[in-house]
Structure 1
Amino acid sequence: MATQTQTLTIAPSAPIPDIALNNEPITISPSPAPVPQDASPAVSSMSKRDITLLLTPLCLSVLLSSLDLTILTPSIPSIVSDFASPQGYIWIGSSFILAHTASTPIWGAVSDIFGRKPIMLLSQAIFFFASLLCALAENMHSLIIGRAWQGVGASGMGMMVNVIICDSFSMRDRGLYLAVTSGVWALGSAIGPVIGGVMSTRLSWRWCFWINLPIGFIVFLTILIFLPLPSPPKTPILTGLKALDWSGSLLIIGGALMILLALDFGNVVLAWSSPTVINLLVFGILTLILFFFNEWKLAPNPIFPARLFPNLSTIAAYGVFAFNSFVFIGLAYYLPLYSQSVLGANALVSGVHLVPLIVSCSLSAAFAGVTIQKTGRYLPVMYAAQVFLMLGVGLFVSLDFEERENLGKLFGYEILAGVGVGMNIEGPILAAQAAASELDTAAVIGAMGFARSMATAVSVVVGGVIFQNGMDGRNGELVQTLGEELAKRFGGGEAAGSIEWIALLDREHQQVVRAAYFESLRMVWIMYVAFAGFATLLTLLVRGRKLNEEHKAVVLGVERGRRTQQQPQVEMEFVTEARSAEGRASEIRQRNVGDCH
């Protein structure tokens, strides 16, 4: 009997045709999954008008949240002087970063249940009233509380912007628009010191907060009226609150706060060997370990499900994003200190010195987004970015104190580092999203945001510790030159807030003090070179994927959590059924081959 050459396509629950088979491969095709009824409509074919209406308020939101990350940097000496609180120097920035970091993972989970637009408006409102509290602050404690609430609001704004863009565009197209908002984030983070310098020099540091109010109000109204988003799910508040992962939320907030407080206290308020610092570090790490155990084993609707980290490549993508953020925020935070302490620039000029970093970072982010959109590949862009970053940051170490007024070198190195950071903003995000389900878009953004916020907080603190240790190491030389009383002004814990005292010294003593700042900051640059190197090594572990041009609808509401839980089970049932079907097909093939003989 002759055998007929055919290829059998097997779908689950479909009967196996009783026909003769040869050894041709079997193609197993799953039945198409039904589209959820409450899924948001695809918006990948948005008009230019809708894209403009979408991006304008989102970019303004990113600008506001990123500005407040660094806008107070040049104004801190003035604030410390006004409130007569030198120890408040670190807390003005740290309170914002602590709250920003701890709250970042929560926003994505909340928006999955209640919808993107309501949560975006909530975060805007929190940021608005926190800015008002800061502007009216009458003492350091009020300012620190206001900064903490600003961090909460800014965290939600930044998270929602990225989630909304990922909801609105295909994997391939979103790279371009993520590049736009990421470029705005880099722009805001970098020009923050410029604007802050103008405000503190020409007006008052309080204008760093007043400026948020009119812009924030306009953005709020624009989002409320014009933002082209699907209607939010009609989730009852109590039902939605019950669906949240409260245990995971408390664990990640508690763990992050303990670790960051330990880093803030260490060598500033308390010694590293003090029981308080050690206990905060140990219990913070243990709490985060317990958080991940809860997420992967216990929580029904986890904030960070285990499926977000399927392989080493995806974990490396999170690491690249975190380490690059670590380096960038360090440059944006400590270059103004370099300009003021070593070069003798005022707050305004020190902000202007960041312009090369700003422009190169923003333009390179846009270039990377266009390249990824056209090619559908992100890995070559990531490789090129790390080369620029390593080169730029490494050259900061080669700066010579005797040639410190050669601004051409400084600006050139800033451009190289800025290109490296800008080109590698969206690549790691796309690498992680390409390995995840569309249902986990907000979770991936939340994990990336948490990685960036944690890296940002640790970067400022670790950089500050290294700088302070450097100044303490030169205390003997300063005492010999300035005397013990005056040298205390430039000791480790006081150095960053005592820059204005340098101008009061005679020229010879200024040189000694500026050299101490220069060498201490050089140690900071060396540390950032090391972290840029870590990011480069991790980039080699990231696997490239061709980005999909298809846009899939997003599912929101409480039902979304149930579908997410059912997804792995459905996939496993299909695989089991498909394997069973293939086994039956193999039996038919063997039987027919036997008939031939």
Structure 2
Amino acid sequence: MPSNENTPADLGHQEMGSVRPDPSDQDSQESTADLDEKSKRGFQFWAIIVALCIVSLLSAAENTVVVTSLPTIVEKLNIGEDYVWISNVFFLTSAVVQPLFGQLANLFGRRHMALSIVAIYILGSGVCGAANNGGTLIAGRAIQGMGSGGINMIIDVIVSDLVPLRQRGNFIAIILAVYGLGTTLGPLLGGIIVETTSWRWVFYINLPIGAFAFSLLFIFLRVKWDKSTTALERLRRLDYVGNGILIASTVSILVALTWADALYPWADWHILVPLVVGLGGMVLFVVFEGLPCVADPVMPLRLFSNRTAVIVYIATFVNAMQNYWLFFFIPLYFQAVKLASPAESGVDLLVFSLVGIPGAAIALMIMSRWGRYKIIHLTGSALFTLGIGLFSMMDQNTATVAWVFFNIAAALGSGMLTNTFLPAFQASLKETDQASATASWNFIRSFGNVWGVAISAAIFNSFTAAYAPLVDDARARASLTSGNSYSSATKAFVESFEEPVKQQILTVFTKSLQKLFMIGVPFSGFVFLLILFEKEIALRTELKTEFGLEEREGTGSDRVAP
């Protein structure tokens, strides 16, 4: 697509390297702007940030708390093989609603959308906690997923409305630190709840916390928005057809990816038909969004009218895909190769979280301080590629200090990339497109997560089947060639066999994981090569928004002089 990053349509910001102002003058101007903006951040501003942190904690914990409580829930409700939908429907609905919620946030304002999203999440939690059968629980998880997807999107949108682009990294870093706390404590919390009380409190615990966050947002999130049109007029501006095509296509693809290898082989028509229909629907969606008759497209093609936006969008998808590639298979290495228990593998995985989350926060603060993101992206993608490459060398005899170092490299790379892509995407676009841009970016990240799980599982299953002839035991070979060898990659499965079969199974899992990580190297290498063509665009120090805090109206504080 043609690049327009030097045009007036990009608000007049210059690419780094094209214009080189005197650094001392620039730093002086930015310091003045920072001080001016900080002086106008009162109690209301920080109350909103606290509320967003609590909402983020709520979403993060629920994403992971089910991991340790899921076996108990499946047993209590006698869910059977449908258990896979407890997690997958959450990710599905989380992805499909984000562009729609972004458009609604533009039409009805951030306050109403934020309150609605938190209410949806609370409702879903209540339905899950009260469920007496699998169908009700899955329905509740679908509602919860909608709320979670909306939370991820609306947090970024609100922060974008409150602070200039150059400074956003500092505040996203604060929220990210709280999110990391929730992600880290989630599995532990889930285990404690199911061991000490009813599994229902895995979901009921969200009700008081969610109500507190809702109250804070209700009291303090008072922001401006266009009230000159009626609700009916705003509803008429919704892109119903575009949203319908996108949602139907996404659901079709995600259903195919959920069923693939779990219920049907990839070549089965049950997989190919929804996959082809979904991908075809995505092409139709792009064509439809570009038609002149679509007055307010849910995902305007102008978001991708410059090189940097396209590069960041593609890199976000691939990086999100690889993040889940690692999240699902690093624990598998600990359990199926190092023969750690699920609890022990969770502790081992803490290295990834304890390095990745602070690394992401530090990268965001560096970006805010220096206004540069390309060097962060290049360093992050290089470290990520190095980490995955090193993972392909791991076996039964890999020393603890070695795999800890490998995890640190990959975690730092992942952290430096994941949350610095959005500011780079926003920098190449107008401030008026921030909600649409944020929703589109969050959608592609969620979409990439699901592809990462499906593709990595397919690769792993194919290699375990290929190496299965190395195993003498017929029952073990059947498990390794079933198309769902992921579920067999546990300490209990391996130790259920005597030598030499036990060692043969370990060899199969080791070789399969090595191949899996090795195939991941070209993907992350592709991201590195893409970023080489990314243009460094100045991060705006001036905030121009139609959705600033109401108390600032008429004061001019929504426009911070650069």
In which range does the TM-score fall when normalised by the shorter chain?
0.7 to 0.9
* 1:342 correspondence with 2:337: yes
Aligned ranges 1:19-418 → 2 under 5 Å: 46-47=40-41, 49-82=43-76, 87-185=81-179, 188-189=182-183, 191-199=185-193, 206-227=200-221, 229-230=223-224, 233=227, 236-297=230-291, 298-403=293-398, 406-418=399-411
The CA distance in 1 between the partners of 2:526 and 2:314, in whole Å, is 9
User: Contact 2:340 / 2:491 at 8 angstroms: preserved in 1?
Assistant: no
Give the C-alpha shift of residue 510 in structure 1: 4.3
Task: For residue 304 of structure 1, give the secondary structure of its aligned residue in structure 2.
Answer: coil
CA 1:62–1:459 in 2, change beyond 3 Å: closer, same or farther?
same
- Assess, with a 3 A threshold, how the Cα gap between structure 1 residues 417 and 500 changes in structure 2: closer, same or farther: closer
- 1:424 is displaced (CA, Å) by 1.8
Distance, in Å, in 2 between the alignment partners of 1:534 and 1:323 is: 9
Whether contact under 8 Å (2:318, 2:527) holds in the other structure is: yes
- Worse overlay, 438-447 or 179-188: 179-188
Equivalent-residue separation in structure 1 for 2:109 and 2:400 (angstroms): 49
Residues 103-112 or 297-306, more deviating: 297-306
C-alpha contact 1:159 1:446 (8 A) present in aligned 2: yes
Cα distance in 2, alignment partners of residues 128 and 513 from structure 1: 44
Q: Are the counterparts in 2 of residues 390 and 417 from structure 1 also a CA contact under 8 Å?
A: yes
Give how far 1:168 is off: 0.8
Query: Cα offset for 1:228?
Result: 5.2
Q: Counterpart amino acid of 2:449?
A: T
Q: 1:473 to 1:212 in 2, by over 3 A?
A: farther
- Per mean C-alpha deviation after superposition, the further-off stretch among 180-189 and 165-174 is 180-189
Q: Could you say what secondary structure the match of 1:424 adopts? A: helix
Distance change (3 Å), C-alpha of 1:528 and 1:214: farther
Q: Shift of the alpha carbon at 1:390?
A: 1.4
Matched, 1:467 2:437: no
Other-structure match for 2:493: 502
Measured in 2, the distance between the counterparts of 1:267 and 1:51 equals: 49
**1:518 counterpart (510, 531, 535):** 510
CA positional deviation for 1:204: 6.2
User: Which residue type is aligned with residue 542 of structure 2?
Assistant: E
Distance of 1:244 and 1:204 partners within structure 2: 42
- Greater Cα offset, 525-534 or 459-468: 525-534
Distance 2:228 2:199 in 1: 43
Residues 438-485 of structure 1: CA deviation (Å, up to 9, x unaligned): 11000110111011011011111212222222333344444x32x43x
Report the more deviating stretch, 184-193 or 149-158: 184-193
Amino acid at match of 1:349: E
**TM-score scaled by length of structure 2:** 0.83
Say if 2:494 and 2:505, in contact at 8 Å, map to a contact too.
no
Q: Find the aligned partners of 2:233 and 2:495 in 1 and give their Cα distance.
A: 63
Q: Deviations over 1:86-144 (max 9, x none)?
A: 53353232211111111111111001011111111111111112122223333333332
Structure of greater Rg: 1
Decide whether the 8 Å contact of 2:153 with 2:439 is kept in 1. yes
* CA–CA distance in structure 2, aligned partners of residues 513 and 387 of structure 1: 33
Answer yes or no: is the 8 Å Cα contact 2:245–2:285 preserved in 1: yes
Q: Check the 8 A contact 1:388/1:419 in 2, yes or no.
A: yes
Q: Counterpart amino acid of 1:446?
A: A
Structure 2 match to 1:430: 423
For the residues of structure 2 that align with 1:393 and 1:449, how far apart are their CA atoms?
Answer: 24
State the Cα RMSD in Å: 2.7
Percent identity reads 29
Displacement of 1:495? 3.6
Unmatched 5+ stretches in structure 1: 1-41, 557-597
- Give the distance between the partners of 1:385 and 1:52, measured in 2 at CA: 31
Q: 1:390 to 1:289 in 2, by over 3 A?
A: same
Q: Does the C-alpha gap of structure 1 residues 352 and 46 become closer, same or farther in structure 2, counting only changes over 3 Å?
A: farther
Q: Decide whether the 8 Å contact of 2:111 with 2:222 is kept in 1.
A: no
Deviation at residue 197 of structure 1 after TM alignment: 4.6
After TM superposition, the structure 1 = structure 2 runs for residues 451-490 of structure 1, keeping only pairs within 5 Å, are 451-478=444-471, 480-481=472-473, 483-484=474-475, 488-489=478-479
2:384 and 2:524 in contact (8 A); partners too: yes
**In 1, Cα distance between equivalents of 2:188 and 2:348:** 8
Is contact 1:131–1:209 with CA below 8 Å preserved after alignment?
yes
Count of aligned pairs: 510
Alpha-carbon distance in 1 for matches of 2:522, 2:231: 47
- Given that 1:321 and 1:428 are in contact with CA atoms closer than 8 Å, whether structure 2 keeps it comes out as yes
Offset at residue 545 of structure 1 (A)? 1.3
User: What is the distance in 2 between the residues matched to 1:343 and 1:282?
Assistant: 39
Residue 541 of structure 1 aligns with an amino acid whose one-letter code is F
- 1:124 touches 1:157 (CA, 8 Å); kept in 2? yes
Supply the distance in 1 between the matched residues of 2:307 and 2:153 (Cα, whole angstroms): 25
Moved more, 201-210 or 347-356: 201-210
The CA distance in 2 between the partners of 1:155 and 1:56, in whole Å, is 19
* Contact 2:382-2:525 at 8 Å conserved across structures: no
